[in-house]
């Protein structure tokens, strides 16, 4: 039997189940070299040939063999397949045709669209006027090839005054080098594309009212590989929202649980400087969640963090509202991160008291900035009946697919305190709670479609991440317990890469500082454990003696309060602390100097050099009578103040640092620790 198999754009992800079975049972494979190299599920003999007459000459001597002839299927009826069929029919050789998924179908799935509702024009090796096709109205998919690429079509549209039309291009679809780019026709006209690509030009938002998606049933795609990349690929997707309190963290953790239960390896990232949400991600997955902070790390630092992705799927949880950035701008926002790193975003939306108005708000989010990386919506704390009512309205009015919902659940209600959610150790039945959320998401969110919308990691970062770490030649003690738990995973990694061995200890329970050449006291909730910290007098004395003796020390926020003389607890009682620094920490009723700022160093010290400008973040309700004055702080909006204690062996202050940013802060701490060890 001869089987003619369509492979769509040629990648294994476009094979149907019937095609896979045929290839597994094949004795001989015939096709173009690039297609043969893409088929790894068969050990059959392979002959690289695609010309119909030459293929027929291979088949004719052995018509009884189980032969598969593979074609890419984006130009007409598999191009040369039509002529081979004629030759087979003339000689009476039995054959069958197994169609594949086309590039258009795969591209539409990546964009979350229904390809059947659009016009399709082939620009593969034929003369085509894209302006005339677009002016016919509606939205058009163009298949490109030869000398015609998405860029040449978009240039023609731009020259005709249609450069402002929304466009998207996909190349190498289902291959490891798959890339999807969105923008206006004018923007795409200036880019370079592979010849075999797909271009979508949009004239209006499609009517999504006829969508056959029913999240309550969550029917799985028949060809699951179309929504699921090859085993070697990595995917990234952002979960953002229109504002805080939309359920981003619970949704992200539930999705991580559901994806892991499916057997997919996952990891997580968090936009911005938040410490608590990454703790939730880490507890669900058992692997560190990393922060992506354009302000603290810079663009290169963020790319390095993204390049550290080692697992199949990465979910990036947004911060605040999608566009909320620095000082009332979109700078450093989740939108800017998604845009610059080419990460598709799904919005977690908690509906309340509106329907069409909610659609208007979503449409506003889509149109507020271009390009929009938003590709879908998931409704949170939404009852099934409300979901059934809202879904067709939102899809019709916005063109966005509504991918499902998370109903109100007792397990999804996580308590908060003054700095955000409770820490993971304080959440009762954490594992069972998020297993329940994950099971619910599996029932009411279309996970296959969600995965089809995720971006490939090769689209985002070309910066290589290094796992290489220097051989440890010094030890840095890191305070880590319920009172001190605010650390960035990349900061700890940066210390290890610089040559430090990290030893964790508890100022709450351990009796003294472990042997070390450096000390890192991070932030957290020392005010909640002030009594216990004070009672552990041997630890307080041990740390005080070490810091006074010149042990290189970094103390941020909560760690800074611990080094001072007095700390007021959450119930208003004052307790003695380490007493290395002057000052009394006390509670206030609002956040103090909240947000990003820069520190200006005027003299050399442990971490900083004179003239440097260091990005930092503050997030605390407790204030001190002595904030220090060694550094000049300034917010992006111009507000200024003095803060911090610095010396050749100390940084202590409320501002939090990223040790993985553009300045070699981790290296400087390790260098000082090495000197301490050599004394």
For the annotated catalytic residues, the residue numbers are: 557
d(CA 183, CA 191): 11
Q: How far apart are the first and last CA of the chain?
A: 81
**C-alpha torsion sign, points 69, 72, 74, 80:** negative
Phi, psi of 588 (to 5 degrees): -125, 175
Closest CA to 540 of 567, 504, 572: 567
Helix (H) or strand (E) holding 46: strand 45-48
The distance of Cα 184 from the centroid of its chain, to the nearest Å, equals 24
d(CA 148, CA 420): 53
Taking CA atoms, 660 is separated from 8, 45, 109, 494, in Å, by 43, 51, 37, 6
Phi-psi region of 502 (alpha: psi -120 to 50; beta: other; left: phi over 0): beta
d(CA 281, CA 257): 10
3-state SS class at 191: coil
Continuous H helices in 468-549: 489-497, 530-535, 537-548
Pairing of strands 45-48, 67-71: unpaired
Closest CA to 475 of 499, 505, 511: 499
**Structure tokens that stand for 615 in this block:** 């990005």
**Structure tokens that stand for 100 in this block:** 């594949």
Phi, psi of 274 (to 5 degrees): -60, 140
Strand order in the sheet with 45-48: 45-48, 28-31, 67-71, 2-6, 95-98
Write out the E strands in 328-452: 345-349, 374-380, 402-406, 416-417, 420-421
Beta bridge partners of 179: 171
Phi, psi of 236 (to 5 degrees): -140, 140
Please say whether the beta carbons of 475 and 515 come within 8 A: yes
Please say whether the beta carbons of 517 and 474 come within 8 A: yes
Cβ burial of 411 (10 Å; 0-12, 13-18, 19+) is middle
d(CA 142, CA 185): 13
Pairing of strands 474-479, 500-505: parallel
């Amino acid at each position: 039997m001869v089987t003619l198999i369509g492979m769509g754009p040629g990648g294994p992800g476009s094979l149907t189940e019937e095609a896979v079975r045929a290839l597994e049972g094949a004795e001989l494979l015939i096709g173009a070299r690039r297609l043969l190299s893409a088929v790894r599920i068969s050990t059959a003999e392979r002959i690289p040939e695609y010309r119909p007459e030459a293929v027929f000459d291979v088949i004719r001597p052995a018509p009884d063999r189980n032969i598969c002839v593979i074609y890419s299927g984006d130009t007409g009826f598999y191009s040369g397949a039509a002529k081979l069929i004629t030759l087979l029919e003339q000689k009476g050789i039995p054959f069958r045709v197994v169609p594949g998924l086309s590039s258009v179908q795969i591209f539409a799935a990546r964009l979350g669209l229904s390809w059947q509702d659009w016009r399709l024009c082939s620009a593969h090796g034929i003369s085509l006027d894209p302006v005339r096709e677009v002016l016919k109205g509606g939205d058009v998919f163009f298949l490109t090839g030869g000398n015609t690429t998405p860029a040449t079509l978009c240039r023609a549209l731009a020259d005709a005054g249609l450069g402002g039309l929304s466009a998207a291009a996909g190349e190498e679809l289902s291959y490891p080098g798959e890339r999807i780019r969105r923008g206006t026709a004018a923007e795409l006209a200036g880019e370079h594309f592979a010849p075999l690509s797909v271009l979508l030009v949009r004239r209006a938002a499609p009517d999504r009212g006829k969508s056959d998606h029913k999240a309550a049933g969550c029917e799985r795609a028949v060809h699951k590989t179309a929504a699921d990349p090859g085993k070697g690929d990595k995917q990234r997707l952002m979960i953002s929202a229109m504002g805080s309190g939309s359920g981003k963290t619970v949704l992200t953790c539930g999705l991580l649980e559901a994806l892991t239960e499916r057997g997919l390896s996952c990891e997580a990232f968090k936009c911005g400087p938040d410490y608590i949400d990454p703790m939730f991600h880490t507890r669900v997955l058992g692997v560190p969640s990393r922060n992506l902070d354009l302000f603290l790390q810079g663009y290169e630092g963020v790319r390095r963090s993204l390049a550290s992705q080692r697992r199949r799927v990465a979910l990036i949880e947004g911060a605040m509202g999608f566009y909320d950035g620095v000082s009332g701008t979109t700078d450093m926002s989740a939108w800017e991160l998604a845009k610059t790193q080419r990460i598709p975003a799904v919005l977690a939306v908690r509906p309340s008291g509106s329907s069409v108005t909610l659609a208007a708000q979503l449409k506003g989010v889509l149109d507020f900035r271009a390009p929009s990386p938003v590709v879908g919506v998931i409704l949170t704390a939404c009852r099934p009946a409300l979901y059934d009512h809202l879904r067709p309205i939102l899809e019709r009015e916005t063109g966005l697919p509504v991918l499902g919902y998370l109903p109100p659940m007792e397990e999804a209600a996580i308590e908060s305190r003054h700095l955000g959610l409770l820490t993971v150790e304080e959440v009762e039945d954490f594992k069972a709670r998020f297993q329940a959320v994950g099971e619910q998401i599996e029932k009411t969110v279309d996970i296959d479609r969600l995965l089809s919308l995720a971006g490939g990691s090769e689209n985002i970062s070309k910066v290589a991440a290094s796992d290489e770490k220097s051989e440890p030649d010094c030890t840095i003690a890191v305070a880590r317990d319920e009172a001190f738990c605010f650390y960035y995973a990349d900061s700890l990694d940066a210390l290890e890469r610089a040559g430090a061995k990290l030893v964790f200890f508890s100022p709450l329970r351990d009796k003294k500082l472990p042997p070390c050449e450096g000390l890192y006291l991070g932030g957290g909730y020392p005010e909640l454990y002030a009594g216990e910290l004070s009672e552990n007098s041997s630890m307080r004395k041990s740390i005080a003696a070490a810091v006074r003796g010149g042990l290189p020390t970094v103390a941020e926020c909560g760690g800074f309060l611990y080094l001072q003389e007095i700390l007021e607890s959450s119930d208003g009682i004052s307790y003695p602390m380490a007493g290395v620094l002057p000052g009394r920490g006390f509670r206030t009723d609002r956040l103090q100097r909240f947000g990003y700022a820069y520190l200006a160093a005027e003299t050399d010290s442990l971490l900083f050099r004179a003239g440097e400008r260091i990005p930092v973040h503050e997030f605390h309700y407790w204030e001190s009578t002595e904030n220090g004055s060694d550094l000049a702080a300034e917010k992006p909006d111009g507000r200024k103040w003095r803060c911090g204690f610095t010396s050749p062996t100390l940084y202590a202050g409320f501002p939090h640092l990223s040790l993985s940013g553009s300045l070699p802060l981790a290296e400087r701490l390790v260098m000082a620790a090495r000197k301490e060890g050599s004394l």
